[in-house]
A and B are shown apart, each in its own frame.
Chain A
Amino acid sequence: MKIPTPLLILGAIMPASALAAPASAEKSVVRVNTTMQAYNLIQPWQKAAPSSRLGLGAVLPGGRVLVTAQMVTDATYIELEKADTAAKAIAEVVAVDYEANLAVLKPTAKLDFLSDRIPFELEGRLQPGDKVEAWQFENNGTPVTTEIKVSKAEVSRYFLDSSFFLTVQASGTVQYRSGSFTLPVAKDNKLAGLLVSYSSKDQVSSILPASIITHFLKDIEDGDYAGFPNLGISYSQTLDEQFRNYLKLNGEKGGVYISKIIAGASAAAAGLKAGDVILTIDGKQIDARGNYDHPVWGKLSLSHLVRGKPFTGDTLKIEILRNGKKQPISLKLIRRPAENRLIDPYMFDRGPKFAIVGGLVFQELTLPFLKLFGNDWKTRAPIKLLMANANPEMHEKQGRRKLVLLVRAIPTPATLGYERLSTLIVTQFNGKPINDIKDLHEASQTPQGNQHRIEFESYPKLIFVDVNLAARVDAALKQRFGTIRRLD
């Protein structure tokens, strides 16, 4: 059997002086091989079968690699691989932002693994008409370059439902080679962005642009990642003339109507109210649709003024119309972390929080749990849970940090008669109000007699479980499942 050595030799003779050369697919892009394993949301004590994802990363200064966050969700094992030599190194996540869909990796042990690579510089100045190159590899490690043309930019959804950021679109056919989840995009051999999706139907690529990458990298520099700020409003357009007259907006050019203020984010902290009209942000006129004129991209959503340039902690000057009167507002940008929401919008790299008592499985409600009801979860999931998701303030007002559900009852001697109960919101356990799963666990440690008393928001309202029987059942379940609770 012949040993395929030529590639290895090539790698070995590459002179160190190459570092001074500009970035290239060959020297600045590495393969990233991830094994990912999410937790089972129905049986939270176990993980689902592992799967793998093969993608590409952009080499950054300091021996680090930039990938999309999608590449490292629930990662159990990450490997960097040089396309030319097939040399591999185990890597770990240095920083990740699932909302911005970005992550930085570094080798875990071989710290000089990337020293023979050429790190990218970033190129933030993209504009319509620019020709950029998507870089990838053939199976044999040969670089492949595809030229695409930048057409426009808009603020659109990244891979999570809840996060909107600037996305650049480019047109041109891109043939995908295997192992090319996420392609670095270069302009004049500098990193212009990451190609995150491609529609073969219209031959349009979506690129996560360098400006957002730069923002992310700057934020992680001090080792303390603050994340992108949230404005925390819902707004409506003011195109309707009757509505404009009603708002006394006739003299103004644009403006958007704040229809809802979300607690805990920037707008609430700055004292903005539902019913206010936002006229300008950072001196830029906001039109009746909620866009402003960007010097390069034209009309862009106002959210880019909040998340595109400024950082959490910065102050934005905005102008509002309240009760027909103009008013300047100094808006300090803050961020309400996703984990502080009543219902976690996403859950990666950790298991669902749960606790089993006598075979009753209690869990905190999360958006991924609601999505278990299928593609049409918005109509199929239990309506009380959907209402909580749409109006978390309903529960937050009552002091709830999380919604704890009785997800289901594993048939055991302790759950006799309760087999059909599922997705019930727990209000009290042993007489104590339940505001998160820890509350429930603590309350289960202090029964008032020989039975646990569990109260729900809806039918059947009240059940009891034998304390001693539950303890025996839980011990048996622990044997079977390995663990019967995860509180952190």
Chain B
Amino acid sequence: MNPEKRLSIVAIACLTTCTIPFVSSLRAAPVAPGQNKSAKEKSNDSRPIVNNSSKYEAVVRIENSSLNPDYRTPWNSGRDSGGNGTGWLVAPNRFLTNAHVVSNSRIVYIKKVGDAKPYRAKILHIAHDCDLAMLELEDPVAFEGVKPFEIGELPQLDTKVKVIGYPIGGERISITSGVVSRIDFLSYSHSAVDLHLTVQIDAAINPGNSGGPVLQDGRVVGVAFQGYSGNVAQNTGYMIPPPVIRRFLKDIEDGEYNHYVDLTMSEFTLLNPAQRAALGLPNDGLGIMVAHAEADGSAGGILKTGDVLMAIDGLPVKSNGLINYEGEDVNMNEIVERKFAGDVINLKIWRERKPMVAKVTLKRFLPYLISAKKYDQKPRYVMFAGLVFQPLDRNLMTAHGIKDLQVRYHYDSYVSDSIYKERPEIIVLTSILPDSINSYFSSYSQSIVDMVNGVKIKTLKDIHTALQKNNGDFVTVRLLGNGRPIVIERSRVTAAQKRIQEKYNVLRDHYLEEPAKAVD
């Protein structure tokens, strides 16, 4: 995964025609009661799709009730919603599905083929970076004796696959079939920043299929998870292939999900003979140039701009960034993909016309998360005198539709300009709850807070502390890109705070904690 590079490609494309298609995730849509009824009525007079449904006992329907936080009113509990998807038995009382099927979950039920009863389930692990989740039944008795699926290998191109699940178009289990169309390294739309190995198939995948197994010779060779909407591309469904599934299963073996690691570098192709000559390389199509290695990332301090990456764990890297791995041409990041935090990769480098070797100990790189969609987290905020302060991330940008140039720059360049070092969190004055204490401030919302009472603000906790500290008659808030500070008279704050909380129904005036997992 390499969001930095991906972002720059999108930016270039947008200059011309903005043709990067939008990958719509197969988020299960809530089924309206009316629809439910008509579907049932229909099934009475139409032949069941599956005669021997017990064959598919290990494929389950998952119904999730969610509570989606509203970043515009972060003090509220959120909006109730829900949806359904598919899951499958991977081990005794272990059901695998997509993270997006059970995100922001309040309550999850699993339904078995031919069994009307919903069984209460709990989320054991949820991996938003690879869109997988592991569920467990509170009472597994209904699935005793049901054989879990085996996981197969990465399927070959043009081999047949079957997709099983509970998509829209009816209530009962559905099966579609097709072939493996393409194997590629693509974006996972659930987090929007992660890229992993992905297999494209031409079997129909529809909302509700998410999390369901894709079978070949009776074994699972993929988890159906996303596709394009019909008016963008046809017969283009995507599944999560076995290497990604296996990595997830291995990661949670110790009882904890530890996320993907990243090399944290961007690379540039070496297709121009002049580049190769300048760097002293033969014109043999091997090696890719390091454009930038982020200082605080795994490769920081090891790789530098102008280095050429020749081989990764012994596999030669081609000038377009591909390696031949297990018989397939895949992105060189595939090597990093299979590793875990603390693992080491061996690099062959060409630096200043000399070969070198380097070992890189891999770790997770958190600053990338600023542009990831976030789930299962309660929005954090501070409300002071009607001014609402929140840390900048993708959810915030989307919810508030922020146009301010400074905010957009800090969001876009947080990693590439190493802003994360100066400000681990970018605190934005997102909105103002109008009151007499702030009636002249309305034009200052959606700006970044630089300082409060002379203290530089680097985290949400910083601003909370600085605002509470009683050091003078005035509270001054300086915003980036705006020379005029916001000034509040300290003596007026207590009364205003009480008034605003009552008027706008703000139960708590701040929430600073890192969220605990909101399951159940």
Contact = CB atoms under 8 A, between A and B. Distances in A.
Interface of A: 234, 236, 239-240, 242-243, 245-246, 257-260, 274-275, 378-380, 382-384, 386-387, 390-391, 414-418, 420-423, 449-453, 458-466, 469
B483 A450 contact: no
A245 B268 CA distance: 56
B370 interface: no
Nearest to A450: B277
Given A257-B484, A459-B266, A459-B291, A383 B409 contact: yes
Contacts of A451: 274-275, 277-278
Contact of B292 (A239, A257, A459): A459
Interface of B: 4-5, 8-9, 11-15, 266, 268-275, 277-279, 289, 291-292, 305-306, 403, 405, 408-409, 412-413, 416, 437, 439-441, 474, 476, 481-484, 487-489, 492
Given A382-B11, A384-B413, A423-B15, A464 B489 contact: no
A242 B306 CA distance: 54
Given A239-B440, A462-B289, A259 B483 contact: yes
Given A390-B481, A458-B416, A461-B292, A416 B278 contact: no
Nearest to B417: A458
A280 B403 CA distance: 36
Given A246-B474, A387-B405, A458-B416, 7 more contacts: A242-B489, A243-B440, A383-B408, A416-B272, A461-B291, A462-B268, A464-B274
B482 A259 contact: yes
A421 B440 contact: no
6 contacts: A240-B439, A257-B483, A420-B13, A421-B12, A451-B274, A464-B277
Given A416-B271, A459-B266, A260 B8 contact: no
Given A239-B440, A383-B408, A459 B4 contact: yes
For the complex of A and B, list the 9 residue pairs with the smallest distance between their C-beta atoms, beginning with the closest.
Answer: A259-B483, A417-B271, A460-B268, A240-B440, A236-B484, A466-B274, A464-B278, A451-B278, A417-B272
Nearest to A467: B274
A260 B483 contact: yes
Contacts of A275: 483
Nearest to B319: A417
Contacts of A239: 440
B273 A466 contact: yes
A354 to B, nearest CB: 18
B39 to A, nearest CB: 44
Contacts of B483: 234, 236, 257-260, 274-275
A422 B484 contact: no
Centre residue among B12, B266, B289, B403 by max chain A CB count within 10 A: B12
A347 B405 CA distance: 24
A302 B210 CA distance: 63
A246 B14 CA distance: 46
A242 B5 CA distance: 47
Centre residue among B5, B268, B412, B481 by max chain A CB count within 10 A: B268
A474 to B, nearest CB: 14
A452 B405 CA distance: 34
A422 B8 CA distance: 11
B20 to A, nearest CB: 13
A416 B277 CA distance: 14
A44 B403 CA distance: 31
Centre residue among A259, A382, A387, A391 by max chain B CB count within 10 A: A387
Nearest to A239: B440
A246 B487 contact: yes
A103 to B, nearest CB: 34
A462 B277 contact: no
A190 to B, nearest CB: 43
A213 B278 CA distance: 60
Centre residue among A242, A382, A384 by max chain B CB count within 10 A: A242
A386 B412 CA distance: 13
Centre residue among A234, A239, A451, A459 by max chain B CB count within 10 A: A459
Centre residue among B5, B9, B292 by max chain A CB count within 10 A: B292
B494 to A, nearest CB: 15
Given A236-B483, A453-B278, A464-B275, A383 B413 contact: yes
Contacts of A414: 272, 274
A416 B476 CA distance: 54
Nearest to B292: A461
A463 B305 contact: no
A449 B278 contact: yes
Contacts of B272: 414-418, 463-465
B291 to A, nearest CB: 4
A379 B411 CA distance: 14
A269 to B, nearest CB: 19
Given A387-B405, A451-B274, A462 B306 contact: yes
B277 A460 contact: no
A384 B15 CA distance: 14
Nearest to A259: B483
A422 B12 CA distance: 7
A462 B288 CA distance: 13
A449 B280 CA distance: 12
Contacts of A449: 278
A423 B12 CA distance: 9
A377 to B, nearest CB: 12
A386 B406 CA distance: 10
Nearest to B9: A420
A460 B413 CA distance: 14
Contacts of B481: 390-391
A260 B272 CA distance: 46
A405 to B, nearest CB: 12
Nearest to A243: B487
B510 to A, nearest CB: 22
Contacts of B12: 420-422
Contacts of B416: 458-459
Contacts of B8: 458-459
A462 B413 contact: no
